[in-house]
Structures are given as structure tokens and as C-alpha cells.
């Protein structure tokens, strides 16, 4: 509960800013920044309301895409935070 509140606060306050802290996103999302950031981007851009997109398929796609990246602990560059 606490994590989701902090994550929502991060999105509400910083998501569309140059100062958005992707490292904090990674920490708050338990090292799943691509899944949570991608979902938020699609949500905010109106993709779910504008197009007939299955939320289950989007979630599966983002999870699978993120799974192809190494984590920050595995490599400091070109990891799932960088994605």
C-alpha cells in the first residue's frame, strides 16, 4: 500500500517532467520501471481509451519486453532502467 502511494505520487508530480527520477521509479516498482513507466505512458497518452487495446496483452508485452533487459544489478548500462 505504501509503495503504491509513493509510486502514484511520483507519477503525479514528476512523470511528464525532465526531472523524472527513473531510479526512484525502479526502486518503487521493485526493479520493474519499464512495466510501470510504459503502462503510465500509455495510460496518460489515451491509448487505452482511444484504441481497443487489451490491458492484459499490454501488461504481458511490457513484462516480456522488460524481461529481455538486464537489471541495474547485472549491468550498469543499457538495463531496464535505461529502456
Looking at every residue in the chain, the average pLDDT score rounds to 93
What confidence score (pLDDT) does residue 1 get? 56
What confidence score (pLDDT) does residue 66 get? 96
Measured from the Cβ of residue 39, the count of other Cβ atoms closer than 10 Å reads 19
Among residues 47, 43, 40, 48, the alpha carbon closest in space to that of 15 is found at 40
Which pTM was predicted? 0.89
Percentage with pLDDT > 90 across the chain: 86
> How far apart, in whole angstroms, are the C-alpha atoms of residue 2 and residue 83?
26
pLDDT tens, residue by residue, 31-50 = 999 999 999 999 999 999 99
pLDDT at 55 over 90: yes
Amino acid at each position: 500500500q505504501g509503495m503504491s502511494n509513493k509510486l502514484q505520487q511520483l507519477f503525479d508530480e514528476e512523470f511528464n517532467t525532465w526531472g523524472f527520477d527513473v531510479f526512484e521509479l525502479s526502486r518503487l516498482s521493485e526493479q520493474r520501471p519499464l512495466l510501470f513507466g510504459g503502462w503510465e505512458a500509455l495510460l496518460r497518452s489515451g491509448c487505452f481509451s482511444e484504441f481497443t487495446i487489451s490491458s492484459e496483452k499490454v501488461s504481458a508485452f511490457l513484462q516480456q519486453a522488460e524481461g529481455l533487459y538486464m537489471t541495474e544489478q547485472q549491468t550498469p548500462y543499457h538495463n531496464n532502467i535505461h529502456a
